[in-house]
Chains A and B, each alone.
Chain A
Amino acid sequence: MDVRLETAVSLTKPWATETAEPAPYRLDVSLERENLLPVISALFAAEWGYLSAITGVDLGTAVGVVEVLYHFCEGPCIVTLRLRVPYDDAQIDSVCSIIPSASFFERELSEMLGITIVGTPNADRLFLPDDWPLGVYPLRKEYVMQG
């Protein structure tokens, strides 16, 4: 295992519920939602990589959960923090207080998948048009494209 990944393992260890290494240079850390900020603070304080993207994956209406992935990259290594956000309590803490540049990713996440970002400095729409109906989230599986 790459030494940088080892550092990441030890950094995230206190909060990780599950750790996996799905591919070389990759580390998946599953978290509880409330532990997101401490983990990110720890990574940021140690200057481990940078926030490369936030991905939201809708697992489907049957499960009723959106999985939110925070990808941190450092050289060849990618650490992915995995959080599960249920539909009925779709909110998550903003990381903008630690990483200001995450604002874009959070705005995208919230408009595309209907997740409320608690404490984000700007919750305006980023990509969707002004006349897009409220409460419709295009990247949810329940949204089916016509035509």
Chain B
Amino acid sequence: MMTVAAPTTQKSEKFIVPIGPQHPALKEPGHFEFAVDGEIVTDATVRLGYVHRGIEKGTESRNWAQNLYLLERICGICSHTHAFAYVLGVEQLAEVEAPPRARAIRMVVAELERVHSHFLWLGVGAHEAGFDTLFMYSWRDRETVMDLLESLTGNRVNYSACVLGGVKFDINGEQTKGILEGLDFLEKRTHHYLNVIQQDALFLQRTRGVGVMTQQQARQLGVVGPTARASGVARDLRIDAPGQHYNDFNVNMILETDGDLAARFVVRIRDLFESYRIIREILSNMPEGDLVVKRMPRKIKAGETISRVEAPRGEAFYYIKSNGSEMPERIKVRTPTLCNMASVLTLTVGQHLADVPMILVGIDPCFSCNDRSVTVTQPSGQREHWTWEQVRRFGIEYYQRQGGQ
């Protein structure tokens, strides 16, 4: 264990109120800096690292199997995605292929995870807009899919479904039935929620026309996942690169063209229907066979590979390099949020500071951003540290001045 001398002084007059999960979107700490000219944001940067643990380096001193669990704990919302991308990469390097049944089970878990993640985000977005009832109801219904995942995998968050060369468990008939019943219920509810977010006038006031990203911008910024698809950029690895994990089942692209927050809500909700359909299709065509390959080497052949998986938030990118030993040489993880985060910073430039919070939530930031401390640099060069709450208040007051005229 390393010892670190305690810093003697607090670095600045930063007033930090770590606001807990009342804003579940923004759970993990990050530090945004927005330079403003009047009310217009002229520059934006972010300081992450409050939850930086050094996982990439950590992988280099753990063996291949241990790394599976370390990487799974990069993110508690899309844990399966990380495990999935990692085992795909390692299997490519080791030149083994998981049995078809194992691949199907992985996909089922991945899609169930997507369902839970989107429901989570729906609640979070609603909460951020101040619609707590929608938050409560969507999280109530989310428990359905959490129950399914728990009874299927044995844990509600870190599913540990994958092992190198296969999966840990089978899906039996009873579970299939349970999943199908759960999906029927969720589908009904999802229709309802789609109606709500498309029609509730007060809710739309907070989302329509906020944080608009054009298709051109989305392309240039390299955003991924639903954030890109809400701007009309057809980018979904399940369709683009089916070779890796979705080869047996076709997925339809869900696109919206408005590019605003409302579109991001709609894309995710419509994504859910697609997930339901895929899960049903997989369950009704479940291939037979083993769950794990007969022989998975402890030492992985030297070489390097790239594996990508469509996480609920977009493309997760893994670069894995092996030197032929029991431990990897280098693993590089690029989470989808990092890609999308850049878009937030670029998008907020030229926008009113008041719109920043909702834009940030709109990308479904997963690994980042709360403590929500913001530095505002005035044109005079004077720097002030604001909490997230202050930015929100600032925004509210700004609008008030606008509206009060």
**Chain A 49-71: CB-based contact to B (< 8 A → 1; otherwise 0):** 01111011110000000000101
Give residues of chain A (102-135) contacting chain B, Cβ–Cβ below 8 Å. 102-105, 112, 122, 124-131
Q: Are B49 and A147 in contact (CB under 8 A)?
A: no
Stretch from A6-14, A34-42, A73-81, A84-92 that touches the partner: A73-81
The residue of chain A having its C-beta at the shortest distance from the C-beta of B329 within the complex is A57
Stretch from B126-134, B155-163, B272-280, B331-339 that touches the partner: B331-339
Secondary structure dominating the interface of B = mixed
Give Cα A57 to B343, complex, Å: 26
Closest chain A CB from B204 CB (angstroms): 29
Complex contacts, A130 vs chain B, CB 8 Å: 7, 11
Contact A57-B330, Cβ < 8 Å, known A124-B47, A138-B57:
yes
Give Cα A107 to B332, complex, Å: 15
B222 interface residue, CB < 8 Å from A?
Answer: yes
Complex contacts, B243 vs chain A, CB 8 Å: 24-25, 76
Q: Are A23 and B308 in contact (CB under 8 A)?
A: no
Interface size on A, as a range, is 35 or more
Complex contacts, A128 vs chain B, CB 8 Å: 49, 52
Q: Are A139 and B57 in contact (CB under 8 A)?
A: yes
Closest chain A CB from B259 CB (angstroms): 16
Contact of A57 among B4, B222, B321, B342 (CB under 8 A): B321
Give Cα A103 to B308, complex, Å: 22
Interface size on B, as a range, is 35 or more
Closest chain A CB from B240 CB (angstroms): 4
Complex contacts, B343 vs chain A, CB 8 Å: 101
Complex contacts, A25 vs chain B, CB 8 Å: 241, 243
The residue of chain A having its C-beta at the shortest distance from the C-beta of B335 within the complex is A53
Give Cα A143 to B58, complex, Å: 12
**Chain B 49-85: CB-based contact to A (< 8 A → 1; otherwise 0):** 1001010111001000000000000000000000000
Contact of A101 among B221, B308, B332 (CB under 8 A): B221
Complex contacts, B2 vs chain A, CB 8 Å: 146-147
Complex contacts, B153 vs chain A, CB 8 Å: none
The residue of chain A having its C-beta at the shortest distance from the C-beta of B343 within the complex is A101
Give Cα A64 to B174, complex, Å: 57
Which residues of A pack against B, CB within 8 Å? 22-26, 47, 50-53, 55-58, 69, 71, 73, 75-76, 78, 80, 99-105, 112, 122, 124-131, 138-139, 143, 145-147
Q: 8 new A-B pairs (CB below 8 Å) besides A124-B45, A125-B47?
A: A23-B305, A52-B222, A52-B315, A55-B330, A78-B306, A125-B49, A126-B49, A129-B49
26 pairs of residues in contact across A and B, judged by CB atoms under 8 Å: A22-B304, A50-B219, A50-B221, A50-B222, A51-B222, A52-B315, A53-B334, A55-B319, A57-B329, A80-B306, A100-B346, A101-B220, A101-B221, A101-B346, A104-B338, A104-B342, A124-B47, A126-B49, A127-B48, A128-B49, A130-B7, A130-B11, A131-B4, A139-B57, A143-B57, A145-B58
